[in-house]
């Protein structure tokens, strides 16, 4: 039994090693994972980094001193919250341009434009005008990911996942706000043109607890992605 497990582990390590080599050979050095609150983007980014031997960059949500107050009173703290996120993410992503500081393959759990999606639903028109001027100046200095994996889910599934993970700050998120945010993410990524994009519906998927789900997606990521493509699990494609 132990031998069988070791053999299986070796096969998986070999598979992931070959996929990593293919990604690097194909010129992919920066893979971004995106999605709305609760969809599981950070979990997937961590799994990709661990199994592919890649570097990992995670957004530092907890570094925003206004976030908890924003969830309590969105109207009063929207602009402060967005500008802190904007500058934090800018400083973090600016370092991605220094390739010598990172491994030849890096996974990041957000794209810079993520903040813009939130800004468009949280800010007033005047605030958004100010925000957009600042964001445009900053974005021009940053590197783009080579491919983006957009994780999609229904608002009902997102609400269930948020409740299950029990983050204290997220308790104040209303179903209406979550639905509006989810629509905004879908609108943005269904019209996305900056990089190749793979859209993955996660309603019936569990990357963390079902390794077959994870393996199938990793194999698809290793294949060419042109423009916007929809991920179809291998068991549904037959």
Q: Is the pTM of this model over 0.85?
A: yes
128 vs 67, which has greater pLDDT? Answer: 128
Is residue 180 in a domain?
Answer: yes
Instruction: Write the pLDDT tens digit of every residue in 58-116.
Output: 998 878 889 888 888 888 899 999 999 999 999 999 988 776 555 689 999 999 999 99
Share of the chain above pLDDT 70, in %: 94
Is residue 31 in a domain?
Answer: yes
| Residues found in the chain | 238
Is residue 15 in a domain?
Answer: no
Is residue 204 in a domain?
Answer: yes
Q: What is the pLDDT of residue 171?
A: 76
126 vs 8, which has greater pLDDT? Answer: 126
Q: What is the pLDDT of residue 238?
A: 53
Q: What is the mean pLDDT of the chain?
A: 90
Examine the pLDDT at 169 and tell me if it is beyond 90. no
Query: Domain span at residue 63?
Result: 26-237
Is residue 1 in a domain?
Answer: no
The number of domains in the chain is 1
Examine the pLDDT at 176 and tell me if it is beyond 50. yes
Examine the pLDDT at 4 and tell me if it is beyond 60. no
Examine the pLDDT at 3 and tell me if it is beyond 50. no
CATH of the domain at 177: 3.40.50.300
Q: What is the pLDDT of residue 173?
A: 87
| 39 closest CA partner among 122, 120, 156 | 156
Is residue 6 in a domain?
Answer: no
pLDDT band of residue 1 (cuts 50, 70, 90) is very low
pLDDT band of residue 8 (cuts 50, 70, 90) is confident
Examine the pLDDT at 236 and tell me if it is beyond 80. no
As a whole number of angstroms, the distance between CA 6 and CA 98 comes to: 38
Is residue 215 in a domain?
Answer: yes
Is residue 9 in a domain?
Answer: no
């Amino acid at each position: 039994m132990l031998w069988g497990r070791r053999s299986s582990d070796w096969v998986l390590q070999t598979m992931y090693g070959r996929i990593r080599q293919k990604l690097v050979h194909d010129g992919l050095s920066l893979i971004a994972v995106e999605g709305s609150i609760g969809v599981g983007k950070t979990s997937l980014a961590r799994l990709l980094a661990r199994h592919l031997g890649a570097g990992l960059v995670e957004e530092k949500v907890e570094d925003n001193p206004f976030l908890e107050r924003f969830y309590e009173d969105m109207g009063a703290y929207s602009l402060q919250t967005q500008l802190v996120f904007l500058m934090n993410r800018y400083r973090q992503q600016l370092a991605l341009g220094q390739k010598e500081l990172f491994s030849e393959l890096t996974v990041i759990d957000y794209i810079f434009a993520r903040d813009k999606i939130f800004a468009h639903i949280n800010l007033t028109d005047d605030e958004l005008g100010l925000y957009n001027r600042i964001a445009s100046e900053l974005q021009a200095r940053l590197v783009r990911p080579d491919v983006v994996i957009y994780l999609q889910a229904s608002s009902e599934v997102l609400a269930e996942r948020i409740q299950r993970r029990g983050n204290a700050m997220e308790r104040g998120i209303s179903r209406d706000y979550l639905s509006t945010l989810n629509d905004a993410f879908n609108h943005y990524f269904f019209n996305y043109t900056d990089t190749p994009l793979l859209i993955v519906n996660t309603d019936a998927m569990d990357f963390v607890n079902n390794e077959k789900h994870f393996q199938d997606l990793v194999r698809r990521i290793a294949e060419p992605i042109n423009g916007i493509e929809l991920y179809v699990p291998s068991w549904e494609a037959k």
